[in-house]
Amino acid sequence: MEFAKIITKFHRNFMRDGMAQEDVNKAFQQANTADLNSLLDLYGTYSESSSAYTKNELEDLKKYTVPDSVVAFYSNHEPHLVPTLSGGIRLMNLESIKVENSSAAPSMYLLKFGLLTIATTIGGHAICLDLDSTNDSQPRVVIADQAFCSYNDDLQVVECVLVPGDIAENYAVDEPILLSNTLIKQCLSEIAPSFREFLKNLSNESYENIEDDFLP
């Protein structure tokens, strides 16, 4: 019931834009138990599927929990036939979320730090739940440039590539800027203070161009 008004608004938008009623009804669907488990057991899911980290490297993931209200949204309203939304945002279904956070940059690197990508932009940038920072019992939502961080094969570390000048100047020219919680909070822009607010903004078509407005 928490998201009922938001889903209704999405449906009205889809109908206005000419989507067939049959497809509108299928846009958000109940999730199956197996897919939903990927939200309930982050460590169990990604310690088996991550292309970026070993099981030991993902131990910190055990301390992160996807809030009940977020799980309830996907349980009852998992995106399936949802078109690209305002701002150029694409909501992913649970299987796509699992694949994205297992094998796509920057999502697979950010996961270790409690950032779970749940949507992407037209340009392939990641929109993430920040499980390390909550408001009203819900995670805030941030955006990460697809080139924000990458794996340095020579040093065998994940380093930040796109860093504001005032932060980069604290490092030596040849010193890698290692991905960390601190850098994530310094560098990634918040696009909504909570998951609920993010969905509300999307249904109200509040985002004009998410990439231009929130990426450096």
Contact 44, 99 (CB under 8 A): no
Q: How far apart are the first and last CA of the chain?
A: 37
- pLDDT band at residue 45 using 50, 70 and 90 as cut-offs: very high
Q: Do the domain assignments include residue 212?
A: no
User: Is residue 193 assigned to a domain?
Assistant: yes
In 3D, which of 130, 31, 38, 138 has the Cα closest to residue 74?
Answer: 31
Tally of domains in the chain: 1
Measured CA to CA in angstroms, residue 94 lies from 30, 34, 37, 55, 79 at distances of 11, 10, 9, 21, 8
The CATH number of whichever domain residue 40 belongs to comes to 3.40.1580.10
- Residue 59 inside a domain? The answer is yes
Question: Is 44 a domain residue?
Answer: yes
Question: Which residues are registered as beta bridge partners of 190?
Answer: 142
Tokens at residue 41, please? 């057991």
- Tell me what the pLDDT averaged over the chain comes to: 95
Does position 39 have pLDDT exceeding 90, yes or no? yes
Ranking 3-12, 56-65, 90-99, 133-142 by mean pLDDT, the lowest is 133-142
The string of pLDDT tens digits covering residues 92-121 is: 999 999 999 999 999 999 999 999 999 999
Does residue 214 belong to any structural domain of this protein? no
What type of residue sits at position 90?
Answer: R
pLDDT computed for residue 165 by the predictor: 85
> Is 77's pLDDT higher than 80?
yes
Domain for residue 92, yes or no? yes
- Kindly indicate the confidence band of residue 2, based on its pLDDT and cuts at 50, 70 and 90: confident
pLDDT of residue 172: 85
User: Is the predicted pLDDT of residue 198 greater than 90, yes or no?
Assistant: yes
Domain region containing 92: 4-207
Q: Is residue 215 part of a domain?
A: no
Residue 203 has pLDDT above 90, yes or no: yes
What are residue 137's phi and psi, to 5 degrees?
A: 65, 20
Q: Would residue 216 count as lying in a domain?
A: no
